[in-house]
């Protein structure tokens, strides 16, 4: 599908300056993601994004520019507050971004999401500062670059973060929805882990939904965003992989034979139909095969909370996924289309 270029805007013009302030979050450039230049889908072959116009600058956590994440110019989008705000989510509450959600069908919150969070793996190193009231109402602030709430290194220049706007939403039971937007809109509907340390779910942007699950983790008090550690470097295992279930070696019903489950491994992060995993949730390649991934706090019960990935010098050779229900699934692996 042909792609169109992202319109020139304040958002794109200040990317370089903003990312220099949060250098630890940037993991790619247009040169590393040829989909930006060659007009391909920009989703690493996952085939799970919509719309057009990916970022020209790379972004966060191993994710390439995502087709369907076309940035709007300042006149293109009214933002979260002008368009109804966060999706109602599974609980059926009203949109949260345009004001307090309706009370019908909203369960008392069983988790507290208050605090600073970073979104991964996505082209923007986005972050939010959430404040949750006793009735589950969420207020706060969201940014396209960085997690707001940290004291800026230069108090006289508080604009450490970029693309920030007020945020609102709601928690119902163990589910949450929230939204923010200025010239570009973010709307999240997530399931929160019981320990309140992880959120996983859907993200809808100004151009449409990102059609694979994305995750949020808490950001340290003194950090601008999530810590990438030492993994911003080339990795011989980096590639797109297509997984197919081996039924006779699997237990459970959450994955089925005859279906292809694509994943991407890049800069020591994993994302795709099996969920997202951050750098410090994956064992070091130098420790040898298999890569041990997780376990991470459970969110969506249909997604694995841990993986074991066999590999050799050419890439992944097999994947075992474990789900919170006790399912254990073995997958054959093939490299995705170049």
pLDDT band at 231 (very low <50, low <70, confident <90, very high): low
In the prediction, which pLDDT does 18 show? 36
Do 197 and 271 lie in a common domain?
A: no
How many structural domains comprise the chain? Answer: 2
Do 88 and 166 lie in a common domain?
A: yes
Do 183 and 100 lie in a common domain?
A: yes
What HEC string does 219-236 produce?
CCCCCCCCCCCCCCCCCC
201 vs 210: CA distance, rounded Å: 10
Do 263 and 181 lie in a common domain?
A: no
Do 190 and 259 lie in a common domain?
A: no
Among 188, 218, 248, the domain boundary falls at: 218
245 within domain boundaries: yes
Mean pLDDT of the chain: 73
Q: What is the mean pLDDT of residues 20-38?
A: 30
In the prediction, which pLDDT does 123 show? 79
Do 202 and 320 lie in a common domain?
A: no
Do 213 and 246 lie in a common domain?
A: no
25 within domain boundaries: no
167 within domain boundaries: yes
- Give 95's DSSP letter: P
What Rg, from alpha-carbon coordinates, does the chain have?
A: 19
Among 158, 186, 218, the domain boundary falls at: 218
- DSSP three-state, residue 248: helix
Do 299 and 207 lie in a common domain?
A: no
Do 213 and 245 lie in a common domain?
A: no
- Beta carbons of 37 and 328 less than 8 angstroms apart: no
322 within domain boundaries: yes
Give the CATH number, domain containing residue 185: 2.40.128.30
305 within domain boundaries: yes
Do 85 and 178 lie in a common domain?
A: yes
- Cα 166 to Cα 66, 139, 180, 215, distances in angstroms: 24, 8, 6, 21
- DSSP three-state, residue 10: helix
Q: Which tops the pLDDT comparison, 335 or 23? A: 335
Residues 113-144 have pLDDT tens digits of 999 999 998 878 899 999 999 999 999 999 99
Asked if residue 160 has pLDDT above 70, the reply is: no
39 vs 43: CA distance, rounded Å: 11
Contacts of 283 (CB under 8 A, 6+ apart): 291, 292, 293
Structural domain range at position 280 = 239-335
Q: What is the mean pLDDT of residues 232-243?
A: 85
| Sheet (strand 260-266) strand order | 269-272, 260-266, 239-245, 328-335, 315-322, 306-312, 291-293
33 within domain boundaries: no
18 within domain boundaries: no
Do 298 and 172 lie in a common domain?
A: no
162 within domain boundaries: yes
Model-wide pTM > 0.75: no
**Helix H or strand E segment including 315:** strand 315-322
Name the β-bridge partners of 187.
Answer: 179, 204
Do 262 and 295 lie in a common domain?
A: yes
């Amino acid at each position: 599908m042909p792609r169109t270029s992202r319109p020139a805007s304040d958002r794109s013009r200040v990317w370089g300056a903003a990312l220099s302030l949060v250098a630890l979050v940037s993991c790619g450039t247009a040169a590393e993601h040829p989909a930006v230049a060659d007009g391909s889908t920009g989703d690493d072959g996952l085939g799970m994004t919509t719309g057009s116009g990916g970022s020209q600058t790379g972004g966060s956590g191993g994710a390439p520019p995502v087709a369907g994440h076309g940035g709007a110019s300042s006149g293109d989008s009214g933002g979260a507050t002008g368009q109804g705000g966060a999706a109602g989510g599974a609980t059926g509450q009203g949109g949260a971004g345009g004001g307090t959600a309706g009370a019908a069908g909203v369960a008392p919150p069983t988790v507290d999401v208050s605090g600073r969070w970073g979104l991964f793996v996505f082209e923007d190193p986005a972050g939010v500062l959430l404040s949750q009231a006793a009735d589950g109402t969420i207020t706060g602030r969201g940014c396209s670059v960085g997690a707001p709430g940290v004291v800026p290194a230069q108090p006289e220049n508080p604009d450490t973060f970029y693309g920030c706007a007020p945020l609102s939403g709601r928690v119902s039971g163990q589910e949450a929805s929230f939204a923010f937007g200025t010239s570009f809109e973010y709307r999240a509907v997530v399931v929160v882990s019981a320990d309140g340390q992880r959120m996983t779910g859907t993200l809808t942007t100004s151009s449409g939904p990102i059609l694979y699950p994305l995750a949020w983790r808490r950001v340290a008090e003194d950090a601008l965003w999530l810590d990438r550690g030492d993994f911003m470097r080339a990795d011989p295992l980096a590639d797109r992989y297509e997984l197919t279930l081996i039924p006779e070696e699997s237990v459970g019903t959450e994955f089925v034979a005859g279906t292809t489950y694509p994943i991407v491994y890049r800069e020591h992060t994993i994302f795709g139909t099996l969920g997202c995993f951050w750098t410090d949730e994956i064992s070091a390649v130098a420790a040898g095969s298999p890569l041990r991934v997780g376990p991470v706090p459970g969110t969506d019960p249909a997604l694995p909370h841990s993986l074991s990935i066999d590999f050799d010098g050419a890439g992944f050779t097999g994947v075992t996924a474990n789900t919170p229900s006790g399912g254990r699934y073995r997958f054959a692996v093939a490299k995705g289309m170049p």
